[in-house]
Each structure stands twice: as structure tokens, then as C-alpha cells.
Structure 1
Amino acid sequence: MLAQTPEPPYYAVIFTSVRTEESEGYADTADRMVELAAEQPGFLGVESARNDLGITVSYWASLEAIRSWKHHAEHTLARQQGRDTWYQCYKTRICLVERDYSFECRPD
């Protein structure tokens, strides 16, 4: 499902990763992070895909909302677990979305 974002401007955090072979606890933690992020002020939505490369894009109302999420205690612990166990490498990019447009999903 595509995230339902407001009219720009807003921010996108693009998290691109390569996983290790270790998977124990990963799915539960990933689900919890999405659940927890959705509770944060300024969270607008999230989209994620994984194959050999994982890409998760979360959308935020402000840079302050992104900073608050980065420093959330449970998210900090999950990031450390990711570095220690689940990720070979990752990169985070923060972007200002100035314009968006879409082709709406067709009804089933």
C-alpha cells in the first residue's frame, strides 16, 4: 500500500540496507518500529520493499519530527541491534519532498 501523504512540502527518510544472514527477531522488531513510528508526532506514513536490497521510506512533517524519532529510546536500541546483528551495511538519506504526483491504484 502506498503511504497517503499530504500536499508537499514534507520530508522523506530513505533507509537503504543490505541484510546479514541473521534474521532472528528482525521481523518483530521491524513491525514494532513501524508501529512505534506511527505513534510519533509528525509521522505521515511509510513504504517498504525488500529483495537483495531493502528500501524503507518514511514520511515526516518536519526535521524536528525526524530528529525526535531518531532519538526515541526504543528506536535507538533497535538501530544498535541492527548494526550488531541484522545489517551488513545501510545508508540513511533525508530529503525534502517539494512535489509529488500519482497514478491512482485501480480498483480490484
Structure 2
Amino acid sequence: MYAVIFKAEINELDESYSEMASLMRELAINKYGCTEFTSVTEEKQEIAISYWESQEQIKKWKQDAEHLVAQEFGASKWYKSYQVQVVKIVREYSKNT
């Protein structure tokens, strides 16, 4: 299992951002096999974590034509800066109710 951690400093988010974020979440899950996608924004910071079974899924997702458009908007309009980390999950703990 892998996680992609996206951290960004927000420049300006508009209506097109919300629409694109929703579309990208659905595309990742429905087309590329993302198992979970969570995003949180607080003041000028955003963090999104998505979970994947393989690195191949992540690579295909990164190269998707619609995702490339979203990446361009992010770099040129929505974010001042961002960082992406792809990590392998080696252990997981949880408390189930």
C-alpha cells in the first residue's frame, strides 16, 4: 500500500478549483483505483492524502490528461508552492469502534 501526500501553500482558490478538485477525486478513485482520498484546507495550507495499491496506479494517475490540466492550473493559479511525497506504508494502526 502506498500514500501520496500533497501539501500546498494556497495562492487563490476559486469556483473552478472546487469543481476540479471534485472531478480529480472521482477520477482517481473510479479510473485509477485510488482506495481513499482525503483533503483538508486550513487558512492558506492544504493537505491531501490518497491511498493506492501500487506505484503503477500512481504513475498512471499522474500522467492522466485531465490531471495534467489540473496540475497546470495548480502551478499557475491556485498554489504558491506545493510538495508531493509518495510513501510506502509499512505499518498501520487503528482503533475501531
Which residue of the other structure, out of 29, 32, 40, is the alignment partner of 2:23? 32
Deviates more, 1:33-42 or 1:79-88: 33-42
Q: Kindly state the Cα deviation for residue 103 of structure 1 after the two structures are TM-superposed.
A: 2.0
The 5 Å alignment of 1:47-66 reads: 47-51=38-42, 52-66=44-58
5+ residue gaps, structure 1, are: 1-9
Superimposed CA distance per residue, residues 57-93 of structure 1 (whole angstroms, 9 cap, x where no aligned partner): 0001101000000000000011001111100000000
- Structure 1 equivalent of residue 62 of structure 2: 70
Q: Over aligned residues, Cα RMSD in angstroms?
A: 1.2
* Structure with the larger helix share: 2
In the alignment of these two chains, the number of paired residues is 96
Q: 4+ residue runs of structure 1 moved beyond 6 angstroms? A: none
- Structure 2 equivalent of residue 4 of structure 1: none
Q: Is the 8 A contact 1:42 1:62 kept in 2?
A: no
Matched to 1:77, the amino acid is V
The 5 Å alignment of 1:80-91 reads: 80-91=72-83
Q: Percent identity?
A: 36
5+ residue gaps, structure 2, are: none
Deviates more, 1:50-59 or 1:35-44: 35-44
The 5 Å alignment of 1:93-104 reads: 93-104=85-96
